[in-house]
Amino acid sequence: MNRGFDRVLGTDVVVVGSGVAGLTTALAVQGRRVVLVNKGSLGDGSTWWAQGGVAAPISEDDSPDLFAADTIAVGGGLNDPSAVATLSAGAVAAIDRLRGRGARFDMSPGGGLDLGREAGHSVRRIVRTGGDATGAEVSRALTDAAARAEHITVVEQLFVADVVLAGGHAVGVTGRGAGEEQVLIEAAAVVMATGGLGRIYANTTNPIEVTGDGLAMARRAGAKVADVEFVQFHPTALSAGLDPMPLLTEALRGEGAVLVDDDGVRFMVEEHRAADLAPRDVVARAVWRRLRAGRKVYLDARDAIGEDLPERFPTVFATCTRAGIDPRRELMPVEPAAHYLMGGVAVDLSGRTSVPGLWAVGEVSRSGVHGANRLASNSLLEGLVFAEAVADDVAAAAPFELDGEARPPGPEPDTDLDAVSTLRRVMWDQVGLVRTRGGLTDALATIEGILSRLPAEPSEARNMAEVAFLVTTAASTRTESRGAHYRADFPLADPQWDHSLVLG
């Protein structure tokens, strides 16, 4: 039993990923031992990069019902109302718990939380830190709390390769550590909290470690996935030749910054009644069309924010300064970039997948909160709220005996850089903001060719290709346009598609 592994760990719960969802799950599990695994360092991933904030119905002119209505209005009719109700009802308590764990947020002169406004929100309800450094503060508070928690064992620099199954039940994970160390972690409950898949696209705001690992592992284990055709493209990434592309937070537009073309025209006024605060999919495609036509697009914050930029948006100001741009006096060149996956591993309100013993939470999951398009600043909130439900559920998980031999993942295969580059380019060109039958067919053929030449052993490159195949298959199947999924050959929403697309 278990021969071939250099190290074997036993625990009650193994959580894979240390962003907001993984950290909150690990911290919230009561009375159980938790191993928290990350393929990089503790806190790596998209959470640290999040600028906008955390949405919550805190003000007197807000309510959970209004918040839920805004979330559903943006979601293209595919939100699960019960999931949205859970999110909106749990938002304020999630903020309170986060503050109790040490997170510090911007305060108003009156002593309350200083709330911002973003696209799709009826009122100001965005809780922020430092104007545009909310993710970094959330990550700091949660990683500090996890490092102090006696029930959590942190394992860093471990690439988790696959879920271990026994009788169709998840009983642990295998991984590859430094120096090709082969690791087995046996657990009564396995929680995937690995984030999204932005790195499968040539243009993305996601850090380099966001390669779709959890989605690929869960699918290989037999879990159903849903709504993976809905990839959100953020409309305002700084166009400065960097990878990942720096995000210019939507909060800038919430405070009055506007999009203009190279003639200085505010084109969003003609695109949507909410102009620059239209839903992200609308704004992103409007920017994309102008870029495809050979125009340039800029974000103009000079009049709305101007000299206050360094104080109100220090992250954005520092990013622009490094790129040689002074946003107080100059326009910021922008283009869309892959930002967030609305779909993922299909789960219920407790985070349970279709595989017993396997849970998923955060961006890797399809909880039903986002539907076809995510409302701004609902991503961190989803991780905070649903991680508590997952923690309650996994705390009651009973051990399931590993009754066979778990296979070590083997040595890390050499990364095929040409294959990865080709994959990212075809996904951006053919499975990006605007899709067609011909483009999707060509993309599937390219991805299948890449999969045939990659080693079968688990790797980031293999995971990227497998999740790219899932996204492209789903995009080919959904013959309509809805939310972040736009088919130029089927440009209208079709009532026959008023449901989630489940694969597996």
Question: What are the C-alpha distances in Å from 321 to residues 300, 317, 325, 364?
Answer: 15, 6, 5, 33
Let me know whether 111 and 142 are in one domain. Answer: yes
Question: What tokens were used for 270?
Answer: 């003609």
3-state secondary structure of 203: coil
pLDDT band at 380 (very low <50, low <70, confident <90, very high): very high
φ/ψ of 70, rounded to 5, equals: -65, -40
In a domain, 401, yes or no: no
Let me know whether 316 and 431 are in one domain. Answer: no
In a domain, 1, yes or no: no
Instruction: Tell me if residue 280 is catalytic.
Output: yes
Let me know whether 22 and 145 are in one domain. Answer: yes
- The predicted model gives 447-471 an average pLDDT of 97
Q: Quick check: 403 pLDDT over 70? A: no
Q: For residue 161, give the H/E element and its range.
A: strand 159-166
φ/ψ of 425, rounded to 5, equals: -70, -45
- The predicted model gives 185-193 an average pLDDT of 96
| HEC secondary structure over 91-148 | HHHHHHHHHHCCCCCCECCCCCECEECCCCCCCCCEECCCCCCHHHHHHHHHHHHHHH
The range of the structural domain enclosing residue 478 comes to 417-503
Q: Quick check: 164 pLDDT over 90? A: yes
pLDDT band at 449 (very low <50, low <70, confident <90, very high): very high
Let me know whether 226 and 239 are in one domain. Answer: no
pLDDT tens readout for residues 195-206 = 999 999 999 999
In a domain, 63, yes or no: yes
Position 3 scores a pLDDT of 67
In a domain, 181, yes or no: yes
- The predicted model gives 359-370 an average pLDDT of 98
Contact in structure between 347 and 365 (CB atoms under 8 Å): yes
Residue 151 to residue 445: CA distance in whole angstroms: 47
Let me know whether 154 and 103 are in one domain. Answer: yes
Q: What percent of the chain has pLDDT over 90?
A: 89
Q: Quick check: 400 pLDDT over 80? A: no
Between residues 181 and 43, the one the model is more confident about: 181
In a domain, 136, yes or no: yes
Strands 225-226, 502-503: pairing kind: antiparallel
Question: What tokens were used for 413?
Answer: 């295969």
| DSSP-derived secondary structure letter, 397 | P
Among 117, 219, 253, 280, the one annotated catalytic: 280
Q: Quick check: 67 pLDDT over 80? A: yes
Contact in structure between 134 and 52 (CB atoms under 8 Å): yes
Let me know whether 370 and 425 are in one domain. Answer: no
Let me know whether 308 and 369 are in one domain. Answer: no
Let me know whether 210 and 303 are in one domain. Answer: no
> How far does CA 315 lie from the centroid of its chain?
20
Provide the residue count of the chain. 504
Let me know whether 174 and 290 are in one domain. Answer: no
Q: What is the CATH number of the domain that holds 298?
A: 3.90.700.10
Q: Letter for the amino acid at 459?
A: S
In a domain, 253, yes or no: yes
Let me know whether 165 and 46 are in one domain. Answer: yes
Q: What is the CATH number of the domain that holds 423?
A: 1.20.58.100
Position 45 scores a pLDDT of 85
Total number of domains constituting the chain: 3
Radius of gyration for the alpha carbons in the chain, expressed in angstroms and rounded: 22
Q: For residue 87, give the H/E element and its range.
A: helix 81-100
Per-residue buried b or exposed e for 138-148, using 16+ beta carbons within 10 Å of the residue's own CB: bbbbbbbbbee
- The predicted model gives 360-377 an average pLDDT of 96
pLDDT band at 120 (very low <50, low <70, confident <90, very high): confident
Q: What is the CATH number of the domain that holds 60?
A: 3.50.50.60
Q: Token match 């805190």: residue?
A: 58
In a domain, 91, yes or no: yes
Position 46 scores a pLDDT of 87
Between residues 237 and 130, the one the model is more confident about: 237
Q: Quick check: 2 pLDDT over 80? A: no
- The predicted model gives 483-487 an average pLDDT of 96
> How far does CA 82 lie from the centroid of its chain?
21
Let me know whether 423 and 330 are in one domain. Answer: no
| DSSP conformation letters of 240-304 | SS-SSPPB--THHHHTT-EEEETT---THHHH-TTGGGS-HHHHHHHHHHHHHTT--EEEE-TTT
Let me know whether 322 and 367 are in one domain. Answer: no
| HEC secondary structure over 301-362 | CCCCCHHHHHHHCHHHHHHHHHCCCCCCCCCEEEEEEEEEECCEEECCCCCECCCCCEEECH
Position 215 scores a pLDDT of 98
CB within 8 Å of 399: residues ≥ 6 apart: 12, 188
pLDDT tens readout for residues 271-299 = 999 999 888 889 999 999 999 999 999 99
Closest among 349, 300, 350 to 325, alpha carbons compared: 300
In a domain, 444, yes or no: yes
Residue 445 to residue 424: CA distance in whole angstroms: 14
